Amino acid sequence: MSGMAGDFSRRDLLAGAASLALSATALGQVQSPSAKKPRLDRKLRTPPGAAYNLKTEPLDKVRFGFIGMGARGPSHLDAAMNCEGVEIVAICDNHVPSAEKGAKMTTNKGRSAPKLYTKGEEDFRRMLETEKLDAVFISTPWDWHVPMAKACMEAGVHALLEVPAATTIDGCWDLVETAEKTGRHCMMLENVNYGQEELMVLNMVRQGVFGELLHAEAAYIHDLRWQMKEIEHGTGSWRTYEYTKRNGNLYPTHGLGPVAHYLNLNRGDRMSYLTSMSSPARCREIYAQAEFPPGHERTRLKFVCGDINTSIVKTELGRTIMIQWDEQLPRPYTRHNLIQGTKGLWAGFPARAAVVGETPETERWSRPEELAKIRAKYDHPLWKRLEAEAKQHGGHGGMDFVMVWRIVYCLRNGLPLDQDVYDAAAWSVITPLSEWSVANRSQSIDVPDFTRGAYRTMEPVPIFE
């Protein structure tokens, strides 16, 4: 999914990271979260909710820049070039072949070659200073997301950053504060919110099909151990070391994003507190021993992140959310995508439903013909409009294209984006909160209210018509 971020930091950074990871983890000297609860709030000088429903000047043409042309950057670039009213201005990646690949993609479409910025890890700042840009896609390793997004917004440029938006509580607050202060969009690119099934379920929720919503289940379960073989280049070249340093839900947003929209989180309700626990860490070590020769650097890493993490969230309105994450166990892919109400539920992977008035019974799952009727009846208007183009241009079943098309449409019409900085912060903060809870016998911990109370009057996400 979209979080397989790009490869902005390359050989030199990775060599240093590998050395640090080995020295810290070989002896088991991993710093765990303190028993003292972290500071969750921050006093900001901006009005609470100042970035909500943010409308900016309509753009006749959206001038895009790109930071990172690794795993995700090319997908965003391709989708953008298939939208009307888009100019590809610049590409930044200090891995020159990746930057050149992006430039060739652009010229192959008959467009002017973008200017390339490839002189080191900080060259994105020169791009922001030099080029006239409206928005920038950030597809880089996780630790770069916050500084790059802040730099974009402070330069007057909208920040479109890969998932997760931040890995620390302070990083989440930094994004909120900067977006509110600058009046620029800060959208986390949670592409799953634009999947055909997820938008259909949102449509059903908005029409009250499930009755009063009480519970949701969200997950990202995807065996990605193969990424460990990406040594000097690719997502695994930097992401592998994350599993040696932290234990919690490192990647919560693919499952959480859609159910957050179903439940109107940050828009009438919000996540109040959570508790989290992880299983033992086993499968990455097993994989390393089986797939790498004796003495290889990756056979000597000490993995501390549990193979599966389960977090339970309670919302202010009393509803519950189960969030799971697992990128190493041998099991089929799933995001769960389950929403339960007083009249029934939808569950994904495989898709199934049991709903009063929509299926003959609620004590059994829907049969294929019953499910087909539900899909035909509630298919989302945005997908009806874009289905042919989405299938043509692809990207995780078309959701990538639909997401970028919608971003371009909103920017050109001066409309609020479908995900705002409060979503980016609230969905991403699950990671550091889960780490603290796991390290402290699954004690509960409050979820910061990044809207500072404004969520009570914020309207639900529209149906995108």
* Residue 361 DSSP label: -
pLDDT of residue 465: 63
pLDDT of residue 1: 55
Q: Distance (Å, rounded) from C-alpha 259 to C-alpha 346?
A: 11
* Residue 142 DSSP label: G
Alpha-helix runs per DSSP H in 294-449: 368-378, 381-393, 399-413, 421-428, 430-439
Residue pair 425/179 in contact (Cβ under 8 Å)? The answer is no
pLDDT digits (tens, 9 = 90+) for 318-351: 999 999 999 999 999 999 999 999 999 999 999 9
What fold is seen in the domain 193-383+418-457?
A: Dihydrodipicolinate Reductase; domain 2 (3.30.360)
pLDDT of residue 35: 82
pLDDT of residue 28: 34
Using a 10 angstrom Cβ sphere, with 0-12 exposed, 13-18 middle and 19 or more buried, the burial of residue 216 is buried
Residue pair 246/437 in contact (Cβ under 8 Å)? The answer is no
Residue pair 225/162 in contact (Cβ under 8 Å)? The answer is no
Q: Distance (Å, rounded) from C-alpha 87 to C-alpha 84?
A: 9
Tally of CB atoms within 10 A around 57:
7
- Based on its alpha-carbon atoms, the radius of gyration of the chain, rounded to whole angstroms, reads 22
Q: Distance (Å, rounded) from C-alpha 262 to C-alpha 378?
A: 15
**Which pair of structure tokens corresponds to residue 33?**
């979260």
CA distances from 440 to 194, 207, 278, 280 (A): 36, 41, 11, 15
State the residue for tokens 């003292």: 36
Q: Distance (Å, rounded) from C-alpha 172 to C-alpha 405?
A: 26
Q: Distance (Å, rounded) from C-alpha 234 to C-alpha 5?
A: 9
pLDDT digits (tens, 9 = 90+) for 204-246: 999 999 999 999 999 999 999 999 999 999 999 999 999 999 9
Phi-psi region of 239 (alpha: psi -120 to 50; beta: other; left: phi over 0): alpha
Q: Distance (Å, rounded) from C-alpha 236 to C-alpha 233?
A: 8
SS3 231: coil
Q: Tens place of pLDDT for every residue, the chain, 465 residues?
A: 544 444 444 444 444 444 444 444 333 334 456 788 999 999 999 999 999 999 999 999 999 999 999 999 999 999 999 999 999 999 999 999 999 999 999 999 999 999 999 999 999 999 999 999 999 999 999 999 999 999 999 999 999 999 999 999 999 999 999 999 999 999 999 999 999 999 999 999 999 999 999 999 999 999 999 999 999 999 999 999 999 999 999 999 999 999 999 999 999 999 999 999 999 999 999 999 999 999 999 999 999 999 999 999 999 999 999 999 999 999 999 999 999 999 999 999 999 999 999 999 999 999 999 999 999 999 999 999 999 999 899 889 999 999 999 999 999 999 999 999 999 999 999 999 999 999 999 999 999 999 999 999 999 998 776
pLDDT of residue 462: 85
Q: Sketch the domain layout of the chain as residue ranges.
A: 193-383+418-457
Residue pair 418/405 in contact (Cβ under 8 Å)? The answer is no
